Amino acid sequence: MSTKALCRHAVTLLLAGIFFLLLGAEVWRSTQCIEITNYTVTSDAVQNDMTLVLLTDLHHHVFGRGQSRLLDAVRDCKPDAILIAGDMFTYWDQNIDGTLYLVRELAKIAPVYYGYGNHEERYIQNTMADLYAELTAAGAVVLELSYIDTEIAGNPVRIGGSCGYLMPQFGVQHRFMRDFEYTERTTLLLAHRPEAFLSWGGMQRYHADYIFSGHLHGGQARLFGRGLFTPESGLFPQITDGMHEGFETTLFLSRGLGGSNLVPRFFNRPELVCVQFAGTLP
């Protein structure tokens, strides 16, 4: 082989090595480097300043020993309440001690409200475990087709949870939403599946002041700030994250913290959502 050919071969190997090194670095960044997304909301419905943190779609991913980096990120937000919108583990897990430990640690920071995702639902079906009792014992208020009237930072709120598609033909879900929305309190809904509101008419059909969702993993891989794929919408879905307003409702959609075992996150850092409500009282 000539010297020129050897040089071309060496350059090709070097460029390939750099490419795969950068690729690996981005996959690592997209699975390990938590990004905090801050939203500031001013609303007549909230009298006192209030900070809410949203966690979704952890899928048993680990951020340091004892979830130290995740817990530190939550503490940095100084939340008045912590909202969990489901899929904190995967349905085939036989042991959810990690999730229970995390809930116990989160409950030391602020009250925790836990709504189910599709993985919690399937886990219950597979194992017949009393997940409600386990999460409650760990310190969470568990909300699935149920709600609680409480106060956060002195603001009267109603917090509810539903993992379903919220279509009128699903009678239990329909009755829950009709009951949930009937209040003068500020309503906060943990709704794991955002499509129920963004695609299937939930915003027009039901009212919640603020909705907190996940499920789409930000499109799993992202290019130019857009998600590439979701199971429901296929390739190049229109919405995979962000804050969305309509019909007197605001929906916060998190890209989540974990992801699929089949396709790694790419250009898609794990997201912790921090929503700061500016109260109307001086």
Instruction: Dump pLDDT digits (tens) for 23-56.
Output: 555 665 657 789 999 999 988 888 899 999 999 9
User: What pLDDT is recorded for position 15?
Assistant: 56
d(CA 226, CA 237): 8
d(CA 117, CA 192): 5
Q: State which residues of the chain have pLDDT below 50.
A: none
User: What pLDDT is recorded for position 173?
Assistant: 83
User: What pLDDT is recorded for position 14?
Assistant: 57
First vs last C-alpha separation in the chain: 79
User: What pLDDT is recorded for position 198?
Assistant: 75
User: What pLDDT is recorded for position 37?
Assistant: 97
Reading across the β-sheet that carries 146-152, which strands appear in turn?
Answer: 146-152, 155-162, 186-191, 210-213, 249-253, 242-246
d(CA 184, CA 32): 41
Kindly state the tokens that stand for 98: 């990690």
